[in-house]
Every structure is written in structure tokens, then in C-alpha cells.
Amino acid sequence: MKIPRYVVIVAAAVVFVAAAAGYLAWKQYEASQLPAGIVSVNGRVEATQVDISTKIAGRVIEIIPHEGDIVPIGSVVARIDTSETDAQLHQAQAAAALARQTVATRLAEVASDEAQLQFANEEMRRTATLVAKGWSTHEQYDQRTQQLNSADAALKAAKSQVDEAQASVKTADAKVEELQAVIDDSTIKSPVRGRVQYRLVEPGAVLPPGGKIATVIDLSDVYTTIYLPGPQAGRLKIGDEARVVVDAAPEFVFPASVSFVAPESQFTPKTVEVQSEREQLMFRVKLQAPLELLKNIEDQVKAGLRGVGYVRIDPAAEWPARLAVKLPPPDQQAAGK
């Protein structure tokens, strides 16, 4: 006898609902077995997202990592076309070299004018001696004075030109540094070690300043977000111990610590008049994973995984044996790399 299809579908739905109810009941039973001072709540594994953007406008000529790739800190993510800037840099470098040559020429002129001034001083001194002895005329003395004044003025003018030439060198060097900075900024590097979550553009795209190129998950900042009611959240402090068990690997218990407790509730009724309503105020809490642990399992870290967070709100409470820290074996951690 052939069973109608709708009967099979209904039976499957009943089995599914029963399984879900059983799982929920098991979770509730498990939570009820926790010692006083330790609470459990569903959570979600999250990680800080970092948008990698270009500082300068331009056409993207290369994007190196693909989605899912791990990029080390300081590694090249993309490059912007700098052909036009390269030409401007060469011109600026040539202008800087010419400015330095001009400074050398002006310094040589100063040396020559200093020699002329020294000679004029000697001539003035000799003429003054001869006039005093009556062997030269005052007219000759006046000529020597005029020559000395002219030599002194020429030296001051030459020194002023040296200052101008040196200022030109500084201006040219600043232009070179500016263009070199633009070229350096055209090579976009990752500020963190992370996994590429989204590659937002492809080579050939023209971006404005601040244009986003990729989104990277910071593997050094992974945490589980949970929500606790006010009476429990109010007893937490930064650094309190916690545990995390993710649905994808329920056989492991990961250590964590409270790194953030929201100063304001996330879910607030319109009116808060009685205690039962105040208990509905939920506060966001972050359970931070240790950095050393993340280094060993970074390839297995996936934002969005669901799990259960366990928080010790009473420092005197003892962790039950089933919540003792249990990490993947070293060979399994290494296999993930």
C-alpha cells in the first residue's frame, strides 16, 4: 500500500519539530544544571571588520588577495596606477637637482665677492696710510671707500641669492616628498592580520579618495556577543572569566573573558514601571577570545557561528567539569593552518 506523499511530509515535519523541541529541552536542562553564579545564554561569534581603502584617487591596477585569503599585517592588498605621478616625480627630482646646482653657483659667487671685499679692505687700509703721510690724495681715498662699499653690497646681494637658492631647494625637496608619498600611498597594505571577507572592486575600477577596496576580518579581535538581563549584567566586570561552546564544535570548550558590557540596554520596553519589566532590559556583553588561542586556530575562525556563552557572575563559583577548557589537539590546530 502506497503511503500518500502528504502523510510523509507531515510525519517528517513532526519528527523535525520533536527533534527541535528535544534539543531546546536539552539546552534548558543543561542550563538548569549550572551551579549558582554561572549563567548561560545563546551567542554569536563575531570579529572586528576592517575596511581597507585607498587614500588617493586613481585606477586600481592590481588586487592581490581573494575572498577567504589570510593577509598578514603590512602585506600588499592592492596597487593604484601612478604613471602620471611618476612623471611628475621625475620632474620634481630634476628641479631639486637644478636648485642644488644653483646653490653651488651662488656659494661660489659669495666666495668671489668675499675675496673682492677683502681686497677692497686692504686697498682702503693702504690708501688711508698714504693719505696720512701725505703721499696720496683724499680723492684717491674716496675712490677706495666707494670700492669698499660696492664690494660689501655685492657680498650681501650674493648671500641673499644663496638664501633664495636654498629656499628653492627646500621647496623642490618638499615637492619630491609629496609626490613620493602619493606613490607610497598607491600601494595599499593591510593594517591588520586578517581574512578577506569581501573583495569590493576589481582591477580597472577608478576610485575616489577613501574608496573601499576590501573588507578584512581582524583575526586578533574575535569575540562572542551575548545579551544578559540587567540583574546579571550588572554583576559583571571587565576581565571576568567566561566559556564559549560553538554549535559547530560542541566537543570543545573555549576560554574567554568579559571585555565589554554595554552601558545602556539594547531592548527597552516603552514603560518601565515594575521589577518584571526592568528585568526585560537586556545588555550587550562581549566575551573576548585570548589572542594566543586565536593565533593557533585562526584558519578555523568564522564570524557568524552560533553557540552558547557561559559567564561567571559570582567569582566564588566553581566551573563544572563539563565546562573545563578543552581545546582542539595541536595536530588539529596545525591542520587548520
Q: Domains for the chain: give ranges and CATH numbers.
A: 35-49+215-335 (2.40.30.170), 58-82+187-207 (2.40.50.100), 83-185 (1.10.287.620)
Task: Mark 16-41 as b/e (b = at least 16 C-beta within 10 Å).
Answer: eeeeeeeeeeeeeeeeeebeeebbbb
> What are 236's three cell numbers?
559583571
pLDDT at residue number 139: 78
Instruction: Compute how many other C-beta atoms are within 10 angstroms of the C-beta atom of residue 83.
Output: 9
Q: How far apart are CA 332 and CA 239, in angstroms?
A: 29
- Tally of residues, the chain: 337
Whole-number Å distance between alpha carbons of 60 and 199: 13
Cell numbers 683724499 correspond to 138
Alpha carbons within 13 A on the beta-carbon side of 303: 17
pLDDT of residue 321 exceeding 80? yes
pTM for this predicted structure = 0.64
Residue 206 bridge partners (DSSP): 59
Q: How far apart are CA 34 and CA 256, in angstroms?
A: 18
List beta partners, residue 216: 50, 196
94 phi and psi, to 5 degrees? Answer: -65, -40
pLDDT given at position 331:
55
- Whether 337 has a pLDDT exceeding 60, the answer reads no
Q: Over 70: is that where the pLDDT of 3 sits?
A: no
pLDDT surpassing 60 at residue 232: yes
Residue 330: its pLDDT value, please?
60
207 versus 329: the higher-pLDDT residue is: 207
Higher pLDDT, 286 or 270: 286
Residue 223: all three cell numbers together: 569575540
φ, ψ of residue 33 in degrees (nearest 5): -85, 0
Q: Record the cell numbers describing residue 333, joined without a space.
A: 590546530
Is residue 195 within 8 A of residue 294, CB to CB? The reply is no
C-alpha cell of residue 18? 520533536
Q: Is pLDDT above 70 for 48? A: yes
Q: Across-strand partners of 312?
A: 38
Asked which of 74-78, 95-99, 103-107 is least confident by mean pLDDT, the reply is 103-107
Q: How confident is the model at residue 115 (pLDDT cuts 50, 70, 90)?
A: confident
The segment with the largest mean pLDDT, out of 111-120, 153-162, 193-202, is 193-202
Specify the pLDDT at position 14. Answer: 56
pLDDT at 202 over 70: yes
Residue 320: partners with Cβ closer than 8 Å, 6 or more residues away: 33, 34, 35, 38
Average pLDDT, integer, range 205-219: 93
- CA 207 to each of CA 59, 179, 186: distance values in angstroms, whole numbers, following the listed order: 6, 19, 12
pLDDT-derived band at 148 (thresholds 50, 70, 90) equals confident
Residue 77 banded pLDDT, cuts 50, 70, 90: very high
For residues 212 and 53, the answer to whether their CB atoms sit within 8 Å is: yes
